[in-house]
Structure 1
Amino acid sequence: MASIVAILSSVLIFSAFSLGSSLSLNYYDKTCPHAESIIANAVKNAVSKDKTVPAALLRMHFHDCFIRGCDASLLLNSKGSNKAEKDGPPNVSVHAFYVIDSAKKELETWCPGVVSCADTLALAARDAVVLSGGPSWDVPKGRKDGRTSKASETITMPSPAFNIAQLQQSFSQRGLSMDDLVALSGGHTLGFSHCSSFQSRIRNFNATHDIDPSMHSSFAASLRGVCPIKNKPKNAGTTMDPSSTTFDNTYFKMILQGKGLFSSDQALLSNPKTKELVSKFAGSQEAFRKAFVNSMIKMSSITGGQEIRKDCRVVN
């Protein structure tokens, strides 16, 4: 029965996605030539006031693409009895939606009804990486916005607790390879995590170990200090790596030291191929940057929408 459910969910995921063959680099050259600079300015203005914005936008794009493709369905608000993706468990801590709203408002002033929310988010994610010291790339454009957003579908998002087999299945269902899995995991170089995403590794891990044995003992001790059993501050947690506002390869170096924050991070060492890539990226910032760009273009080309929304939070 479980295998039938898994097969059905795979079919549903595949039927919702297609790799965006209709996307092009010069999609807005004639219809909205200033689109990219308008979006870049909105991101830059937000980042100047809040250094957590780049990580938020990169995560937002990733979470959007993994459900129904990169169709901005994550941006839709819940309405009536329909609970939208942004209110699903993996997305309740996703923030900085106002940055996309701001860019979209300006786009609608200059070229109404032309630039999709999905393209706006894809471009904003690229700009977020650049402003964090990461690489730039040409973003293929022409995505449409989706009209469906269901919190229940976010159950298919990869979890911080996933092992390597579960990660591989999740990525392959979306047409992404093991190489893409490791490169895109490098996005964890930016950002912050709440205790809830890793506390199962630092207390009562299993019947034999209180702490996950794959975690460096001093790292585990520091996390136990950040996430006490009682009187835990509401937003208690830690940065994803020590240089959490800079796009670099520190994340991979941390994994090799047993200091990956999530089980899914440390799991990258449990497979020979992914372990080799972690070592490669830890040793070469340039190799990581190149692989990340290729995988971001591939992931952000998973399309699935139907319209161009006037307001990213509601369907037309």
Structure 2
Amino acid sequence: MEVVVALSFAFLVFPFPSAVGALSSNYYDHKCPQFESIVRGAVEKATSNDKTVPSGLLRMHFHDCFIRGCDGSVLLNSKGKNKAEKDGPPNISLHALYVIDNAKKALEVECPGVVSCADILATVARDAVVVSGGPYWEVPNGRKDGRISLASDTRQLPAPVFNISQLKQNFAQKGLSTKDLVALSGGHTLGFAHCSTFQNRIHNFNATHDVDPTLNPFFASRLRSVCPAHNKVRNAGAPLDSSNLIFDNAYYKLLLQGKSMFSSDQALLTTPKTKELVSKFASSRKAFERAFVSSMIKMSSLTGGEEIRRDCRVVN
């Protein structure tokens, strides 16, 4: 617990205007004054028991926002013949949903019917970054929860095999820029990648090369030892970067060294503009954190939904 508390103070503060569209950074000041502390407590408690919680929460928020906006639809359970987002192929490995459940339960006691699951998810993502030693920012709130969640919609999520054109188009459809793309990719500084997400780079890459030639040979060899061609070890994989429990700019440094995990990571080096941004963020953690905060606020302001759920897993 001491590590978590120490990390929670290791942040930089980046102010921004109090409102983004219909959202406001002081939305719960009077409606639910304990909102921030309850959510932060849920994240810190969970992280003290499981250091992989922050990466799970950050990824979950990203996956939520890229489908119908940030409306908490990724939290809904499948029902009957309807397969929900969380059961779509890219989301099978999502974890730490219980953190949102725990925060919601406490908030329903403190201020029933006031706080949306979408706002909880946006705020736990921020707190996940902070507890991992990253920057703090004020999260604009006031989102509503969505009532629609379809596994088929997870095809809208950017895939780890995307090239730069596909990535740019995918982000542009959400109103996000090339800079947002490169900055948000830095979220890969936290977490773990399963073999299936980078297998294409280390086995049968193309007709000429078995391994992606842009990969550092020693790094590729290590990945191949963990993920053999016919890997049968469930949940086998590798950390996304060398300090995968700490929010820093190591992701960009490793990318420039040929030690990235996904084809979509390597794609960031294939155009002058994106490569320039990668180099900038690799050389300056502060520049990365400022860009990341700006892009997170922009992404989390993609709103949708129409209700305040009493239970984050089911519609009212």
TM-score range, shorter chain: over 0.9
**Where does residue 205 of structure 2 map in the other structure?**
205
Please tell me the residue identity of whatever aligns with 1:124: V
Shift of 1:230: 4.0
Alignment check: 8 A CA contact 1:73 1:146 kept? yes
TM-score (norm 2): 0.93
2:242 corresponds to which residue? 242
* Residue 194 (structure 1) aligns with: 194
Residues 309, 315 of structure 1: 8 Å contact kept = yes
Residue 232 of structure 1 deviates from its aligned partner by 3.3
Which structure 1 residue ranges, 4+ long, deviate > 6 Å from structure 2?
Answer: none
Q: Is the 8 A contact 1:85 1:154 kept in 2?
A: yes
Alignment check: 8 A CA contact 1:20 1:302 kept: no
Q: CA deviation at 1:231?
A: 5.4
Q: C-alpha deviations, 1:104-140, integer Å up to 9, x for none?
A: 0000000000000000000000000000000000000
Where 2:238 maps in the other structure, the secondary structure is strand
**What residue identity is the alignment partner of 2:132?**
S
1:256 maps to a residue whose letter is L
The 5 Å alignment of 1:1-316 reads 21-230=21-230, 232-316=232-316
Secondary structure class of the residue paired with 1:303: coil
User: How far apart, in 1, do the equivalents of 2:52 and 2:309 lie?
Assistant: 26
What's the % identity of the aligned pairs? 69
> Does the 8 Å CA contact 2:203/2:229 hold for their aligned counterparts?
no
Aligned AA for 1:216? N
- Contact 1:158/1:170 (8 A) holds in 2: yes
| TM-score relative to the length of structure 1 | 0.93
C-alpha distance 231-141 of structure 1, shift in aligned 2 (>3 A): closer
Q: Partner residue of 2:4? A: none
- Any stretches of 5+ residues in structure 2 without a counterpart? 1-18
- 3-state secondary structure, aligned to 1:193: strand
C-alpha displacement of 1:21: 1.5
Post-superposition Cα deviations, 1:153-210, rounded to whole Å, max 9, x if no partner, equal 1011100000000000000000000000000000000000100000011010111111
In the TM superposition, residue 47 of structure 1 has moved relative to its aligned partner by 0.1
Aligned Cα RMSD in Å? 1.0
Residue number in structure 1 paired with 2:11: none
Give 1:20 deviation, angstroms.
6.1
Equivalent in the alignment of 1:8 = none
AA aligned to 1:81 is K
